[in-house]
């Protein structure tokens, strides 16, 4: 008989009921973290190999993450119908199919095919995200949800630290810096031959990736991962759910979706645009490839701080509030603090290091929003989780907006888009999560 998370959430939790599911979910976070954060190196790689401008290159993130908007809600229904383990298996297989689409795309050097492959991989990742986030939110005491999510974040971001470096080690060569300088000077025939050779380097890595993802799907299908059921959570919660009828009558959830969207937008800008920003300072790709890993490493540090301090020294709500204020402060420093510095062997404008430091506040914002947004949803928890996952479409839209502004103005001034993101996050962390009815009346909001 399958266990549900509702039957293993009580006071007598066994090692199998907690450690094994958390380890499996942590593994999922590592996998879709590795796949997702490859985009940070694919953007400049495709910009060179497919001869793109800034806006066109950021279609990489658009194609990958717009699938979250398309498939998040269907994912919740698929998980309800097929179950979580079978649904996760399907997610891995969809990702494997997307990876294999890179093979014909590389042979034809057709950017549209690469975008199709990324869209397909994003669809599989959306399914995994819709399954994994409610698991880790519900699996244990609510007041420690941010701590558990921080552990998952470490797995996700550690994968991101290694993903661009591994891709660069496999695909890029020491002589490529000179090649990139010579490509614009070549004849059309020579340039096409060089670009064809460059893009076809992805074929073997993505064939291997597809095979591994397929096998992982089978392993997860027969793992001891339990199913989630949220029926009869608490009588009062069910009564509230039956009265409200529709998910959109939960303001704290809907505002949380907006907050997730803007947080994810700020996060992806600090990672997926930083190589292009470094390129604008005359730092070539072979040197700039490490900057996304710097940002992701600061996020890992932030997660560790969260695990140590929350809830022992500060509440997860206070951790969220500190993070959003710090993010707003760093945004102003990115815009206004400009001075050439040499650090870790890189000579660049100091603003790039404030972008790296955005990893610290961004590490705790995601985990701080989830328990606040899902609070009291009862039988709507899966659907609420799917809506929150849809907030990941910011990964699709915000880099495009940044690329558009970078082409019109410059890569530095385009970072002004971070300001409204953190401004709304400050609102949600201090007030928006308390709103329980669509009214501006103080008497119609409650404080948790």
Which range marks the domain in which residue 183 is found? 15-223+234-435
Residue 441 inside a domain? The answer is no
Range 286-310 average pLDDT: 87
Residue 75 inside a domain? The answer is yes
pLDDT of residue 227: 63
Number of domains in the chain: 1
Residue 3 inside a domain? The answer is no
Domain CATH for 376? 1.20.1250.20
The DSSP-derived string for 186-237 is S-HHHHHHHHHHHHGGGHHHHHHHHHHHHHHHHHHHTS-PPBP--TTS-HHH
pLDDT of residue 174: 78
**pLDDT higher than threshold 60 for residue 266:** yes
Residue 322 inside a domain? The answer is yes
**pLDDT higher than threshold 60 for residue 7:** no
Q: How far is CA 110 from CA 116, 168, 200, 392, in A?
A: 10, 21, 11, 26
**pLDDT higher than threshold 80 for residue 396:** yes
Give the least confident one: 24-33, 298-307, 331-340: 24-33
% of the chain exceeding 90 in pLDDT? 30
pLDDT of residue 120: 95
Band of the pLDDT at 140, cuts 50, 70, 90?
low
Instruction: With beta carbons less than 8 A apart as the criterion, state whether 397 and 335 touch.
Output: no
Give the least confident one: 2-6, 226-230, 246-250, 388-392: 2-6
Give the least confident one: 265-269, 378-382, 412-416: 378-382
Residue 193 inside a domain? The answer is yes
What's the rounded Cα separation, in Å, for the pair 300 and 79?
A: 30
pLDDT of residue 147: 67
pLDDT tens, residue by residue, 65-114: 888 788 877 887 787 787 777 888 898 999 999 999 999 999 999 999 99
What's the rounded Cα separation, in Å, for the pair 330 and 52?
A: 30
Residue 319 inside a domain? The answer is yes
What does the mean pLDDT of the chain come to?
Answer: 82
Whether the pTM exceeds 0.85: the reply is no
pLDDT of residue 255: 93
pLDDT of residue 351: 94
Residue 386 inside a domain? The answer is yes
Residue 109 inside a domain? The answer is yes
pLDDT of residue 265: 92
What's the rounded Cα separation, in Å, for the pair 284 and 266?
A: 24
Give the least confident one: 138-147, 148-157, 381-390, 436-445: 436-445
Give the least confident one: 220-229, 289-298, 351-360, 395-404: 220-229
CA gyration radius, the chain: 22
Question: Beta strand 346-349 with 340-343: parallel, antiparallel or unpaired?
Answer: antiparallel
């Amino acid at each position: 008989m399958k266990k549900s998370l509702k039957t293993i959430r009580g006071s007598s939790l066994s090692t199998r009921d907690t450690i094994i599911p958390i380890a499996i979910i942590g593994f999922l976070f590592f996998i879709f973290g590795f796949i997702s954060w490859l985009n940070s190196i694919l953007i400049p790689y495709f910009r060179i190999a497919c001869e793109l401008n800034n806006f066109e290159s950021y279609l990489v993130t658009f194609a990958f993450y717009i699938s979250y908007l398309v498939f998040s809600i269907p994912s919740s229904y698929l998980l309800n119908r097929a179950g979580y383990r079978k649904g996760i298996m399907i997610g891995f297989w969809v990702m494997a199919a997307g990876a294999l689409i890179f093979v014909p795309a590389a042979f034809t050097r057709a950017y549209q095919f690469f975008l199709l492959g990324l869209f397909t991989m994003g669809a599989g990742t959306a399914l995994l995200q819709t399954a994994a986030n409610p698991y880790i939110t519900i699996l244990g005491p609510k007041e420690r949800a941010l701590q558990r999510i921080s552990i998952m974040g470490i797995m996700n971001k550690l994968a991101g630290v290694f993903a661009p470096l591994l891709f660069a080690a496999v695909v890029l060569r020491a002589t490529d810096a000179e090649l990139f300088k010579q490509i614009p000077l070549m004849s059309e025939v020579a340039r096409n031959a060089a670009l064809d050779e460059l893009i076809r380097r992805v074929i073997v890595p993505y064939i291997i990736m597809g095979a591994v993802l397929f096998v992982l799907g089978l392993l997860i299908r027969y793992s001891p991962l339990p199913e989630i059921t949220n029926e009869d959570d608490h009588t009062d919660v069910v009564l509230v759910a039956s009265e409200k009828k529709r998910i959109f009558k939960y303001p704290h959830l809907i505002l949380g979706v907006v907050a997730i969207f803007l947080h994810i937008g700020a996060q992806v800008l600090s990672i997926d645009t930083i190589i292009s920003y470094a390129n604008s300072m005359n730092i070539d790709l072979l040197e700039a490839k490490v900057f996304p890993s710097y940002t992701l490493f600061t996020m890992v540090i932030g997660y560790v701080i969260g695990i140590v301090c929350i809830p022992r020294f500060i509440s997860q709500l206070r951790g969220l509030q500190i993070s959003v204020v710090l993010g707003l402060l760093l945004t102003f420093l990115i815009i206004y603090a400009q001075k050439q510095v040499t650090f870790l062997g890189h000579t660049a404008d100091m603003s790039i290091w404030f972008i790296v430091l955005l990893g610290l506040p961004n590490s705790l914002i995601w985990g701080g929003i989830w328990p606040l947004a899902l609070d009291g949803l009862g039988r709507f928890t899966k659907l609420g989780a799917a809506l929150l996952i849809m907030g990941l479409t910011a990964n699709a839209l915000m880099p495009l907006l940044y690329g558009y502004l970078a082409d019109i103005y410059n890569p530095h001034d385009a970072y002004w888009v971070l300001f409204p993101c953190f401004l709304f996050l400050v609102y949600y962390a201090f007030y928006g999560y308390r709103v329980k009815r669509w009214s501006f009346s103080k008497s119609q909001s409650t404080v948790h």
